[in-house]
Amino acid sequence: MPDRFLLPSRLPRRPWLWAAAVLTVLVLATRLPGWISGPVVEAYRVEARPLLASVVATGRVETPSRVTIGSEITGTVVERPVREGDRLAAGDVVARLADEDERARLDEARAALAQLLERERPVDAATLVQARGAAEQARRDAARTAELAGKGLVARERAEQAEQARRVAEAALAAAEAQARASGPGGSTERLLRDRVATAEAALAQTVIRTRVAGTVLRRLAEPGDVVQAGRGIVELARDGELLVVAQVDERNLDRLAEGQAALVSADAFPGQRLPGRVAFIAPAVDPRTGTVEVRVEVPGPPATLRQDMTASVDIEVGRRELALVLPIDAVDATDASGPPRALVVRDGRVVRVPVTLGLRGIDRVEVLDGLAEGEAVLPVAGAPAVGRRVRIAPVE
């Protein structure tokens, strides 16, 4: 037979040649698309979606005012029924001072007033009645004696004595009337004694220390047995009302802040509790040591869980878009201060560096005003392939 018919009989002697050929074909089949089209890379898609821009900062809870409740008089504390954390309403008792002297003075003043009403006033009224009768009798005697003296029936000296007696009786009547007016209802003596009672009552009331405002006790400044001077504090009170969260915000965000902006506050101790607030104050100066500006956020109607000096996070809403082209922040390269921000975009299968104009900046996304279109693939800046290289896209969340 011809030699060509002997070839199949020699093939099994070299199987490795066929295995190598098959392996080569498989390698080329798997590697050739990558060599031609480039490696597979993860990319973001430019999306049209709502965007909320906020500034995040950490601060401390503070009350608008702290009130020190103290004594108006010098005295010894005998009772202090409140302690730290107690919530007090206006008028609640904070402390009591020793009041023996004040009670004694009040009892004395009340006794003097009772003596006036029960004894002196009736006596003065009776004396007035007697003085009026005596004065009327003296007038009649003086008139009759003068008439008789004019007719020569009595001596002129007798008439002069009668006239003198009339004058004395009328003077006594005037004195009795004055005394009755003073001790009578609404008279000066009654007013004086009632004023003494009121003064003594006020002095006694000062031994009971009450708060005039509602709030929460922060500190005790005096204990039972302490002698407190007038004006010395007994407790420190955090006044009820809108709480403030005082935060230090990076000065780079100052141009985006304004009073009245909405905010959300969450205490670190209760991270799931987000409370609405608003920016009430922005400091007029920047702290040169930290490069921050003080911002105060009011929290109306705060719950009891939000306490003085707690650490709290503040999210201040500085802008909102109902629909905007957005991109993750890590897909924007803003390291070149001399030029605009840039993004690495995949166009026609190659990596292209594109300058972009940015708008609102959220927590993890930023608004793209110009340079990109919805749906375009943009690479994360970190670890991105070189500009101009061919790539294939694998989307990432």
Q: What is the pLDDT of residue 14?
A: 58
Q: What is the pLDDT of residue 33?
A: 52
Q: What is the DSSP string of 310-354?
A: -EEEEEEEEEEEEEEEEEEGGG-B---TTS--EEEEEETTEEEEE
> What six digits make up the tokens of 250?
């990076």
Region 328-341 average pLDDT: 85
Name the phi and psi angles at 176, rounded to 5. -65, -40
Q: 337: exposed, middle or buried (C-beta count within 10 Å: 0-12, 13-18, 19+)? A: exposed
Those residues whose C-beta lies under 8 Å from the C-beta of residue 217, and which sit 6 or more positions away, are 82, 83, 84, 85, 86, 87, 88, 235, 236, 237, 238
> What six digits make up the tokens of 284?
């007029």
Q: What is the pLDDT of residue 9?
A: 47
Region 142-146 average pLDDT: 87
Contact 53, 361 (CB under 8 A): yes
Summarised one tens digit per residue, pLDDT across range 276-300 is 999 999 999 999 999 999 999 998 8
Measuring CA to CA, which residue among 396, 334, 341 is closest to residue 371?
341
Q: What percent of the chain has pLDDT over 70?
A: 90
Region 53-71 average pLDDT: 86
Q: What is the pLDDT of residue 296?
A: 93
Distance CA 280, CA 377 (A): 42
Measuring CA to CA, which residue among 363, 364, 338 is closest to residue 355?
338
Those residues whose C-beta lies under 8 Å from the C-beta of residue 328, and which sit 6 or more positions away, are 44, 364, 365, 366, 380
Q: Is the pLDDT of residue 378 over 60?
A: yes
pTM comes to 0.52
Q: Is the pLDDT of residue 139 over 50?
A: yes
Q: What is the pLDDT of residue 387?
A: 87
Q: What is the pLDDT of residue 278?
A: 93
Summarised one tens digit per residue, pLDDT across range 152-177 is 788 888 888 888 988 998 999 899 88
Q: What is the pLDDT of residue 11?
A: 46
Measuring CA to CA, which residue among 372, 262, 254 is closest to residue 319?
262
Q: Which of 99-103, 196-200, 240-244 has the weakest average pLDDT?
A: 240-244
Distance CA 125, CA 363 (A): 90
Summarised one tens digit per residue, pLDDT across range 7-22 is 444 445 556 666 665 5
Region 106-127 average pLDDT: 90
